[in-house]
Amino acid sequence: MLFVALVVAGCLYGAARLVAVAREPLTSLPFQSGWEPSEHALSRYHARYYPLAMLFLAFDVEMLFMYPWAVIVADAGIGAVIEMFVFLGVLMAGVVWAWREGALRWT
């Protein structure tokens, strides 16, 4: 099976090389409409943006858990409500910790 997978991958790679429009790689980066970049593409983001982005992602994932919960909470009863409040309590503890560590301070 490994041999077949390697042969198929090699054939696909070879076919891609044969039908490629440009055989040589790009000489300039496709950044700022093909002009030579004066800075790295990722250098414009300050490092203090990333903890805030991680905090946003944590609450975004929290919403993924809350939408299905909202659909079944009426059928599941008080146990589901208690579980959600425990979950939200853990998230609130994370927010308080991030606040104390200064992750929400922008300056």
* 32 is a domain residue: no
* 12 is a domain residue: no
What is the pTM for the complete model shown? 0.49
* 95 is a domain residue: yes
pLDDT in the model for residue 13:
93
| Structural domain that includes position 82 | 47-106
Tens of pLDDT, residues 52-80: 788 888 788 888 888 888 888 889 889 99
Percent of the chain with pLDDT over 90: 19
101 vs 54: CA distance, rounded Å = 14
* 34 is a domain residue: no
* 20 is a domain residue: no
- Model confidence at 5, pLDDT cuts 50, 70, 90, reads very high
Split into its structural domains, the chain has a count of 1
The C-alpha angle 75, 78, 84, rounded to 5 degrees, equals 95
* 9 is a domain residue: no
* 33 is a domain residue: no
Residue 4 gets which letter from DSSP?
H
CB 94, CB 58: distance < 8 Å: yes
Please classify residue 80 by burial: count the beta carbons closer than 10 Å to its beta carbon, then call 0-12 exposed, 13-18 middle and 19+ buried: middle
Work out the mean pLDDT of the chain and round it to a whole number: 81
* 53 is a domain residue: yes
